[in-house]
């Protein structure tokens, strides 16, 4: 087994879904097979789509997952899918370099410049030590460190102040850690505002009232991804989990007939459309919305 970096775009060229599958050509089959059973990090390049002229990519690592299997693409010859689970968004995107220091040593030439040949490979095997540094930087908020400080410490630019008591990969698959990270990321994506009521309430201790709801429940193998999450106030969260309300592909709020009293519907946005994150990459994914409508919603 080996850890790896998978490069994927904001608008993938194939039927990719980082939480579930990664599409790749035969060129990378050997490297991906080595990663089966181990973890990978996703990297978003400068190009935001398959168009050569496109820009907008963050040039950052943005999530972690575990590769479970490799299967052939039955529709396209010499192409494959890596199936993944345990996906988790980073709490902060991690740039490929901090100053002149690179998280992947293979991306840096001896003269200090970027190795464009290595950068051009969509799948790159990576040593455990470098993989761990990327994860520590990506989950810095959950580790009670500032993102900048954590990145500097990870690259050896400053002295660490907080020891890591458990291996970072082990931490990212623990349920309590994942729940805290998911809550942090969903709240941040929705700016602490309930998507269905528009309320943004902060309690006396400075904590937001809004909760992070899974669209496809964890019990039904829903991932801890912002694309499978939505920020909801307590009452609306309760209604959503019980299938009294749902969301259409057009982001319209759906209400189960004869199940929701009129007083409760008055809580919902007058437009009957949910508020969405400013970043389109975090909008609810159609696959998870369909699951909720088909398997949870009582309408």
Question: Which pLDDT tens digits describe the chain residue by residue (299 residues)?
Answer: 899 999 997 555 557 889 999 999 999 999 999 999 999 999 998 755 444 444 567 789 999 999 999 999 999 999 999 999 999 999 999 998 888 889 999 998 888 888 888 888 999 999 999 999 999 999 988 887 544 444 545 555 444 444 444 578 888 889 999 999 999 999 999 999 999 999 998 887 778 899 999 999 999 999 999 999 999 999 999 999 999 999 999 999 999 988 888 888 889 999 999 999 999 889 999 999 999 999 999 98
3-state SS assignment for residue 81? strand
The count of structural domains within the chain is: 2
Residue 83 shares a structural domain with residue 16: yes
Would you list the DSSP string of 192-250? T--TTT----B-TTS-B--EEEESS-GGGT--B-GGGEEEE-HHHHHHHHTTSEEE-TT
Residue 121 shares a structural domain with residue 258: no
* C-alpha distance from residue 275 to each of 190, 252, 282, 284, 295 (Å): 8, 10, 12, 11, 23
CB 185 within 8 A of CB 48: no
Domain that holds residue 248: 176-295
What pTM value is reported for the model?
A: 0.85
Backbone angles phi, psi at 3, to 5 degrees: -85, 155
The CATH number given to whatever domain includes residue 22 is 3.10.590.10
Residue 120 shares a structural domain with residue 202: no
């Amino acid at each position: 087994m080996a850890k790896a970096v998978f490069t994927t775009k904001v608008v993938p060229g194939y039927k990719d879904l980082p939480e579930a599958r990664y599409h790749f050509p035969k060129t990378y089959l050997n490297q991906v097979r080595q990663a089966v059973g181990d973890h990978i990090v996703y990297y978003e390049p400068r190009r935001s789509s398959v168009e050569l002229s496109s820009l907008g990519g963050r040039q950052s690592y943005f999530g972690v997952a575990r590769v479970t299997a490799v299967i052939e693409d039955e529709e396209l010859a010499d192409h494959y899918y890596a199936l993944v689970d345990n996906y988790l968004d980073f709490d902060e995107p991690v740039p490929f370099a901090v100053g002149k220091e690179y998280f992947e040593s293979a991306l840096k030439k001896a003269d200090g410049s970027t190795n464009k040949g290595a950068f051009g490979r969509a799948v790159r095997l990576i040593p455990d030590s470098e993989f761990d540094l990327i994860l520590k930087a990506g989950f810095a908020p959950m580790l009670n460190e500032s993102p900048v400080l954590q990145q500097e410490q990870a690259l050896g630019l400053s002295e660490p102040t907080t020891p890591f008591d458990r291996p970072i990969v082990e931490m990212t698959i623990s349920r309590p850690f994942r729940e805290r990270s998911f809550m942090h990321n969903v709240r941040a994506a929705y700016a602490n505002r309930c998507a269905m009521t528009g309320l943004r309430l902060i309690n006396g201790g400075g904590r937001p009232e809004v909760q992070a709801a899974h669209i496809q429940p964890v019990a039904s193998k829903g991932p801890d991804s912002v694309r499978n999450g939505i920020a909801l106030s307590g009452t609306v969260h309760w209604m959503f989990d019980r299938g009294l309300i749902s969301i259409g592909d057009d982001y319209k709020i759906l209400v189960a007939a004869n199940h929701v009293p009129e007083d409760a519907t008055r809580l919902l946005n007058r437009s009957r459309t949910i508020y969405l994150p400013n970043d389109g990459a975090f909008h609810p994914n159609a696959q998870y919305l369909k699951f909720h409508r088909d398997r949870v919603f009582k309408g």
